[in-house]
Amino acid sequence: MKNLSVEKLIQVGYRFVTKSQGRFYLYLAVFCSILVVLDAGSVEVIRGMKLKTFDVIMKHRVLFQKADPGIVIVDIDEASLEAMAQEYGRWPWPRQVFAEFLEMLQEQHPTAVVFDILFSDPDVFNKESDTYFNEVVPDMDNTFFPMLRLSPANDELSRVTPSMMPGIEPVPGETQEEKGIALVLPYFTSIIESGRMGTNNVYPDRDGIVRQYPIYRDHFGWRIPSLPAKVGTMLGWELPKQPDVFLNWRGKFGAFRSVRFSDVFNDFLRKDRQRPSDEFTDKIVIIGSTASVLFDTKPTPMEKVHPGVEILATAVDNIKNGDWITQAKNPWVFTALALGLIWVTALAFLTGVKRKAIDTVFAGSQVGLMAVTFASLNLTTFYLDLTAPITAGLIYFSLARVYAYAEATLMEKYVWLNVEEGVEGWQHTVVVVLQVDDLPESAEGRFMTALKRELNHRKPGFTVEAFPRKPAGIGKAYHNMFLIYYVESQVSTGQWNAKQQGEEILSLIQSVAKPLCAKDTMKFHIGFSQGPMPYGEEKPRIQAWQQLVTAALLHLRKPEGRVIP
């Protein structure tokens, strides 16, 4: 019973294949084209794959820019928290610690000092310490501090207005409004008055991975810079024009030179210092934490747990060296490439180009596109994301290849179907061997496809197969031959008589073959046989089939066919 269901399914599939006449390849091309166009528009169908491709290439680059030696992280790690706890207690430490650290650090004349620490609240237990810190900051004109941008949904509730934030700039061509902007500003007036502030927000993509860093945000006609952008503006660096940039990662965690805060601070306090006196001279010093207990980590393409201070250092490094990752803004360029790949492949399947040739060319195109994508992130700072054409082409090719295989398999199996279990009789079968002189091997697939589709267009039910090409042996003997057969679906139980229908089918094949061969002035020969194919048991059916094919081959050069009794 199970075999019966499979055979019925095969028969249904065969009918679909013969009726479609290759139009399935066109329907599939239309479907994949719609998918590509939707992806280029508002519905990002392939975006997740694009991001994952970016991550894989970024993480496994062979050539990449190493971390700038002029950027040093002063790390408040677990060891620093433990070492400082004996005298200054648990985190957060009194602000006097940072005031003293800044004063001693400035003796070495660093280019800039960037805090990745938000001083948003007063220290109610160490007011004098806060006062000291507030007095030290004005003399440190190369020191930068973060502020935190909250959700714009909270803007109506905020009392922070643009006039309270020195250092922000009006957006050219826009009207400046004095409206509330939801920000967490530093507590210290000296920091706010300095104007050396920027946001240190990072915004992960929808999958939670941080790939981009904001350069600025525009609100009510005002441009609020990020912390790296503020550093770049003050130091005269050229900033990106776009509001966000993809980070050009310098490697995994630990790519930047890092020193322990407690080691540096304690050495500053020594009378005879052991560390180099120019350790931070002309350096950009970023003070932040990699301690896991402070929860300043984000997943990135490089690490599942990447400290925020290294993300900040990467952004500063990118802007300093002008090598952030740029991507093409117009997705329609890649859409056109994807559509071209889909329709060229569809045309190849539709016209009957040899499957091996399609496989080779398509595989080569996929490897080429992937190589270009990989090379773009290794050799340049411009990411040529060809994921859309690669993915769309792969989807189309995979489905079309499965259909082509199913089409060939169904055509082969149909002649052996035994759908009605227990029924005995025979089916009228016509077998024709068509030999074409001077048919190039490259044109064999197209010729067979055209022959098959034209025959089934005029009378559904034909199967066309090509004899295999081999250097010698049986393949050489049947060079440029095609086996065409038609098995009548009706099962007869009466006496076999030669049918006029066989001559009609032969005439139909001749009328189809003549114009196909006339295009290239090729001659053709036909061998014809017809007879009953036993229905039911497989062994007698195979024996009859062998006799029919053999008879057609024997009469290849004769003008008439032979009827097998």
| Burial of 446 (C-beta count, 10 Å sphere; 0-12/13-18/19+) | middle
Tally of domains within the chain: 3
Give the span between the Cα atoms of 47 and 387, in whole angstroms: 9
From 184, 247, 174, select the one nearest 214 (Cα to Cα).
Answer: 247
Residues 436 and 502 in one domain: yes
- What per-residue confidence (pLDDT) applies to 562? 41
What's the pLDDT tens digit per position in 271-318?
A: 899 999 999 999 999 999 999 889 899 999 999 999 999 999 999 999
Residues 372 and 271 in one domain: no
Q: Report whether pLDDT(497) > 80.
A: no
Q: Report whether pLDDT(18) > 60.
A: no
- What per-residue confidence (pLDDT) applies to 563? 38
Most trustworthy range by pLDDT among 157-171, 344-358, 440-454, 457-471: 157-171
Residues 21 and 91 in one domain: no
Give the span between the Cα atoms of 126 and 554, in whole angstroms: 108
* Mean pLDDT in residue range 362-372: 87
User: First-to-last CA distance in the chain?
Assistant: 33
Residues 451 and 403 in one domain: no
Q: Report whether pLDDT(259) > 70.
A: yes
**What is the 3-class SS of 212-260, one letter each residue?**
EEECEEEECCEEEEEHHHHHHHHCCCCCCCCCEEECCCCCCCCCCEEEE
Q: Report whether pLDDT(134) > 80.
A: yes
Q: pLDDT band for 44, please (50, 70, 90 cuts).
A: low
From 259, 284, 285, select the one nearest 274 (Cα to Cα).
Answer: 259
Residues 497 and 558 in one domain: yes
Query: Which pTM does this prediction carry?
Result: 0.74
Residues 450 and 529 in one domain: yes
- What per-residue confidence (pLDDT) applies to 561? 40
Tokens of 559: 């003008």
* Mean pLDDT in residue range 386-394: 84
Domain that holds residue 350: 2-60+328-410
Residues 421 and 397 in one domain: no
Q: pLDDT band for 564, please (50, 70, 90 cuts).
A: very low
CA distances from 400 to 342, 345, 347, 396 (A): 10, 9, 11, 6
Residues of the chain above pLDDT 70, percent: 89
Domain boundary among 410, 433, 465: 410
Residue 559 falls within a domain, yes or no? Answer: yes
CA 59 from centre of chain: 15
What's the pLDDT tens digit per position in 136-158?
A: 999 999 999 999 999 999 999 99
Q: Report whether pLDDT(247) > 70.
A: yes
- What per-residue confidence (pLDDT) applies to 420? 54
Amino acid at 71: I
| CATH code of residue 470 | 3.30.70
* Mean pLDDT in residue range 321-329: 89
From 554, 555, 551, 534, select the one nearest 564 (Cα to Cα).
Answer: 551
Q: pLDDT band for 412, please (50, 70, 90 cuts).
A: low
Q: pLDDT band for 422, please (50, 70, 90 cuts).
A: low
Give the span between the Cα atoms of 170 and 222, in whole angstroms: 4
Q: What is the CA radius of gyration of the chain?
A: 38
- What per-residue confidence (pLDDT) applies to 16? 59
Provide the angle, in degrees to the nearest 10, between the axes of the packed helices 500-518 and 444-458: 140
Residues 385 and 263 in one domain: no
- What per-residue confidence (pLDDT) applies to 131? 96
3-state DSSP assignment of residue 372: helix
Residues 404 and 425 in one domain: no
Residues of the chain above pLDDT 90, percent: 47
